[in-house]
A and B are shown apart, each in its own frame.
Chain A
């Protein structure tokens, strides 16, 4: 069963790898490094049709067209910022998996930290309260009962041995 699962997983892994390969296979590069750099660059750009896929992997028609545009500019040696500007001026920040820091994205960038700080504050307060709770003075009655219980427990253990 485990072997079967592993095989299925490997098959899926292989399939995803091939999907990536076919999307870019029609383009030629000077070197393996350049191809990898292009792949990394387009992996940071979002396909607008299938929104959970990057331009590097999507088979959508529009992704194909955009990939060709990006490839052409890339081969002309244009800087990456210019290519990103080209896409953002047409499709907005939505095409970027790495959104820029600006007022409309503050909550996106700082929200998690705010939540983290809030969580730490709540945690500290809870721990502090727990600590205070622990320092409860036992009354004479409580102490009596405690020693009785402990003795009972000890006797039980002794009888088990």
Chain B
């Protein structure tokens, strides 16, 4: 190694570090890869929001691809996401089920009345225990669960139109292709 190239080593080391640090600027520190992908969705049997005397269990949804959206009326980002979910529901590509997370029943019902209801049904997790089983750490979160009850996709944070096109629709298409 000539002495001239030797002096370039620190420059290269710096450039490599700067490259990683630059990438770090555009990464979301709140994003934690889920360990639940390709694992069976946790069992649940929870009361419905509009009919508290009835419950919905994971077993009731076996055999179809469905989406679970964890939301709460106190969650600001959920408000932004809600219109996107309304649109997704109108596209008729997947049944969306709501998991009302640590919310007040009246507030949740008001929310759906005022902002529209994209959910086939909403189940109530007032203690947050089912949320823990799903590894929820910040609402809103969305899961796509296949016909076998296995989690195939998880989205942390509000879903936007781009996410639907780039992530959710491809996952759904893949799952539909698999069931045919």
List the interface of chain A (C-beta within 8 A of B). Answer: 48-49, 51, 61-62, 65-66, 69, 88-92, 94
Contacts and interface: CB of A to CB of B under 8 A. Distances in A.
A91 B134 CA distance: 9
A89 B137 contact: no
Given A65-B129, A88-B35, A90-B135, 14 more contacts: A48-B32, A48-B138, A49-B137, A51-B29, A51-B30, A62-B138, A65-B128, A65-B131, A69-B129, A90-B35, A90-B36, A91-B32, A92-B33, A92-B34
Nearest to A63: B137
A48 B129 CA distance: 16
Contact of A49 (B127, B129, B138): B138
A105 B176 CA distance: 36
Nearest to A48: B137
B132 A89 contact: no
Contacts of A69: 129, 132
Contacts of B134: 90
Given A48-B32, A51-B29, A61-B102, A90 B138 contact: no
B43 interface: no
Contacts, number: 39
Contact of A89 (B32, B35, B102, B127): B35
Interface of B: 29-30, 32-36, 102, 127-129, 131-138
Contacts of A94: 32
Nearest to B36: A90
Given A65-B128, A65-B132, A69-B132, A91 B102 contact: no
B32 A90 contact: no
Contacts of B137: 48-49, 62, 91
29 contacts: A48-B32, A48-B137, A48-B138, A49-B137, A49-B138, A51-B29, A61-B102, A62-B128, A62-B136, A62-B138, A65-B127, A65-B128, A65-B131, A66-B132, A69-B132, A88-B35, A89-B35, A90-B35, A90-B133, A90-B134, A90-B135, A91-B32, A91-B35, A91-B135, A91-B137, A92-B34, A92-B35, A92-B135, A94-B32
A153 to B, nearest CB: 34
Contacts of A61: 102, 128
Contacts of A51: 29-30
Nearest to A65: B128
A78 to B, nearest CB: 16
Nearest to A90: B135
B150 to A, nearest CB: 15
A115 to B, nearest CB: 11
Contacts of B35: 88-92
A62 to B, nearest CB: 6
A72 to B, nearest CB: 11
